[in-house]
Amino acid sequence: MSKQPRKPRIVQLNGDSSKKTRVPASRRPMAQNDLSLVVASPQAEEIVKEFSAPSSPPVKTGFPWLSWFLGAAAALLSLGAGLAIDQLIVELFERQTWLGWAASAAAALLVLAAIAIILREIWGISRLNTISALREKAIKIQAGERPKDGINLVRDLDSLYSSRADMANVRSKFAQDRINILDGQDLLTLFETTYMSPIDEQAKSLVMQSAKRVSLVTAISPRALVDIAYVMMENIRLIRRLSTIYGGRPGALGFWRLTRNILGHLAQTGAIAAGDSLIQQFVGHGIAARLSTKLGEGVVNGMLTARIGIAAMDLARPMPFNALPRPGVSEYFKELTRSFSSSDKI
């Protein structure tokens, strides 16, 4: 009986023949409105990790010539304004006595308001310095340096929130739980889990709301100038509200200082470059075909806002994240893509 000739077959020399050949992700057909591929992309996860990398405080180098220039210009303008007001009051007295007294009263009110504003700015900067000093002490104690100082640090931290009515229940719970704790590091951990947990939740909620608003406005706005103006306004409001939640209450100068430090954080961690890479990932995975170009830009801008919010939390918080997990951009990224995917399906 003659043998039947064997059919030709393919034999794989390298690797297991039982494994199926996988089509590259870039050539696979993508499901409409499915953003899970973007979230699960290894490249996107690496970029999200770059966004979530903890920041280090900016390093100041060189002589602050710009600060001296602005200070000298402000002094000259103040002297010029003072002389002009004095000349105005003298001329008004020469014309009518009652006009001179009215101008004098207005000038006195102006000086009083200026003194109040200066005192408020000084108090706001002092408050930010206090929070910064408390955070530095907490970092040293958590690193094992002089753990006995944790008791004094917790007392200072507790006094930071002693005047807040919304923290009354938290303060009473902490007073009950701290009775049996004698170690400074353990007491600091208890303070973070008790005090910082509700404040962190409020801060995370604010960051998420701001990121969603920025994403939505960017997606529906017809002009880039409107996008830029709204994003700047929303980020300014977010930074101020986060600082207030953590007890900073900065004035104009304190807010500018905090914003400058946040921008230094973002520059050192390369958030802008990561944002450009993320846009390329969106385009490479076909997000423009599944959503739209504007919606993709909205997600990216929302993530940048979330990154700014996280950096603001790092600087506004009176102690670093240790017992509690530090929020990452990946959380906001998944929520933003999920919300945009749902809205696009509708």
| Nearest of 207, 314, 199, 201 to residue 245 by alpha carbon | 199
> Using alpha carbons only, how large is the chain's radius of gyration in Å?
29
Contacts of 341 (CB under 8 A, 6+ apart): 33, 34, 35, 291
What does the pLDDT read at residue 105? 93
What does the pLDDT read at residue 302? 83
What does the pLDDT read at residue 253? 76
Q: Has residue 37 been placed in a domain?
A: no
Q: Has residue 30 been placed in a domain?
A: no
What does the pLDDT read at residue 220? 80
User: What confidence category does residue 343 fall into, taking pLDDT thresholds of 50, 70 and 90?
Assistant: low
User: What confidence category does residue 62 fall into, taking pLDDT thresholds of 50, 70 and 90?
Assistant: low
What does the pLDDT read at residue 330? 77
Quote the number of domains for the chain: 1
| Nearest of 317, 63, 334 to residue 191 by alpha carbon | 317
Q: Has residue 9 been placed in a domain?
A: no
Average pLDDT over residues 272-294: 49
What does the pLDDT read at residue 30? 42
User: What confidence category does residue 13 fall into, taking pLDDT thresholds of 50, 70 and 90?
Assistant: very low
- pLDDT tens for 224-261 read 787 788 888 888 888 889 888 888 877 777 778 777 77
What does the pLDDT read at residue 74? 87
User: What confidence category does residue 109 fall into, taking pLDDT thresholds of 50, 70 and 90?
Assistant: very high
Q: Has residue 176 been placed in a domain?
A: yes
If one compares 178 and 73, the residue with the highest pLDDT of the two is: 73
Q: Return the sign of the alpha-carbon dihedral for residues 158, 163, 164, 167.
A: positive
What does the pLDDT read at residue 106? 92
> CA-CA-CA-CA torsion for 164, 169, 175, 176, nearest 10 degrees?
180
Burial status of residue 238 (CB atoms within 10 A of its CB: 0-12, 13-18, 19 or more)? buried
Q: Has residue 281 been placed in a domain?
A: yes
Asked if 218 and 279 touch (Cβ cutoff 8 Å), the reply is no
User: What confidence category does residue 25 fall into, taking pLDDT thresholds of 50, 70 and 90?
Assistant: very low
The token pair at 93 is 């007295």
Q: Has residue 36 been placed in a domain?
A: no
- pLDDT tens for 296-340 read 677 778 888 888 888 888 888 898 888 888 888 777 777 777 766
Q: Has residue 270 been placed in a domain?
A: yes
Name the residue range of residue 115's domain: 82-345
Average pLDDT over residues 208-216: 88
pTM beyond 0.75: no
Asked if 279 and 24 touch (Cβ cutoff 8 Å), the reply is no
pLDDT for residue 200 is more than 60: yes
How far apart are the C-alpha atoms of 258 and 251, rounded to whole Å? 10
pLDDT for residue 189 is more than 90: no
Q: Has residue 65 been placed in a domain?
A: no
pLDDT for residue 215 is more than 60: yes
User: What confidence category does residue 292 fall into, taking pLDDT thresholds of 50, 70 and 90?
Assistant: low
